Amino acid sequence: MALGCSYGTHRVLEPRGVLPQPARRLDNESAPFDNEILVDVETLNVDSASFHQISESVGGDSAKIADRILQIVGERGKMHNPVTGSGGMLIGTVRTVGPALKTDLKPGDRIATLVSLSLTPLKISKIKAVRPETDQVDVEATAILFETGLYAKMPADIPDTLALAVLDVAGAPAQANRLVKPDSTVLILGGGGKSGLLCSYVAKRNGARRVVCFDYSEASLERARRLGCYDEYIQGDARDAIAVMQAVGEKADLTLSCVNVPGAELSAILATKPDGMVYFFSMATSFTAAALGAEGVGSPVDMLVGNGYYPGHADVTLQLLRENPTLRTMFEELYVAGR
């Protein structure tokens, strides 16, 4: 019986001795080991920070975005953006389940992976469509899920592309559900984006007294207004820390950084009470900049790394769509209509 390491180190080609996520290159060619799952991939949901960076680097041209994704996967054996360090997740159909695995999965099950593409061996034979409006890419590809890899079976009552979109950010609303306290002030940077909208509903549902949306584009602010879970809406550049702090006014008990650009670390810190907390969900965050920046401005604020996993996060996030018809309709318009 050919068993690989449960964490996937047997797939690491370079450098040896590291886990798959920080590795520069993975083996995406070898046949599945007896404790691996082989998935036929249909759609990649590329991390927002990663897709934004790739799109900007090629002038927004969809064909060039596809070429760059193929280049990254060809060089690295995984969709691991070397600039942002982030990946995304995928949806697909299970082709084979290793005989050594104890799992409820079987061939033919449709799943979304809940681990990053930055650690998932991936081989793309064809990119069928690039969808810049949703950060999604339709592909013909195969992927390997390791023994410790997390996944969610696709729900019967929610369209696949919608489920994929929200599961990609499931950690944010699940953490918000844990962190938002009644009668608190919550600031969401990037509040009109996918994770920001989900978190705003959780904040309002959990009894926050003041929920503030800060976003760059009017289109994002309009989405936030339509959902109606915010008390205030501020348009501005989240990279301008002093301007953000002044615009917000009363500092937040909890700030959620959901932006998809780097350089917003100090804005989140300065706009948060010294005894408050900043949750850096954005993969564009420099945690060095956050730590040294907080030290530099003399803020003892607690800072939480945006771990994309929290127990039960998939179920929590899918339930939000079932609870809030406006939220579901908005996301269906973005991720389902016209496909």
Q: How many CB atoms lie within 10 A of CB 224?
A: 23
Cβ 297 vs Cβ 269: under 8 Å? yes
Q: How far apart are CA 159 and CA 65, in angstroms?
A: 25
Q: Is 172 helix (H, G, I), strand (E, B) or coil?
A: helix
Q: How far apart are CA 226 and CA 278, in angstroms?
A: 26
pLDDT at 336: 83
Helices 194-205, 171-179: crossing angle, 10 deg rounding: 30
Q: Which residues pair with 272 in a beta bridge?
A: 252
- Quick one: how far is CA 14 from the chain centroid? 25
Buried b (16+ CB within 10 A) or exposed e, 56-86: eeeeeeeeebbebbeebbeebbbbbbeebbb
pLDDT at 339: 63
pLDDT at 306: 84
In sequence order, which residues have a C-beta less than 8 Å from that of residue 181 and are 6 or more positions away?
206, 207, 208, 253, 254
pLDDT at 186: 98
Amino acid at 43: T
Buried b (16+ CB within 10 A) or exposed e, 138-166: bbebbbbbbbebebbebbeebbbbbbbbb
Amino acid at 298: G
Task: Kindly state the tokens that stand for 17.
Answer: 């001795």
Q: Is 286 helix (H, G, I), strand (E, B) or coil?
A: coil
pLDDT at 230: 98
Q: What DSSP assignment string belongs to 16-38? A: TTS-TTT-SEE--SSPPPTT-EE
Closest by CA position to 253, among listed 211, 222, 294, 316: 211
Q: How far apart are CA 251 and CA 234, in angstroms?
A: 14
Cβ 326 vs Cβ 316: under 8 Å? no
Closest by CA position to 87, among listed 59, 124, 48, 60: 48
pLDDT at 284: 85
Domains plus CATH for the chain? 9-154 (no CATH), 171-305 (3.40.50.720)
Tell me how far CA of residue 120 lies from CA of 67, 103, 148, 211, in angstroms: 19, 19, 12, 36
pTM exceeds 0.95: no
| Positions in the chain whose pLDDT score sits under 50 | none
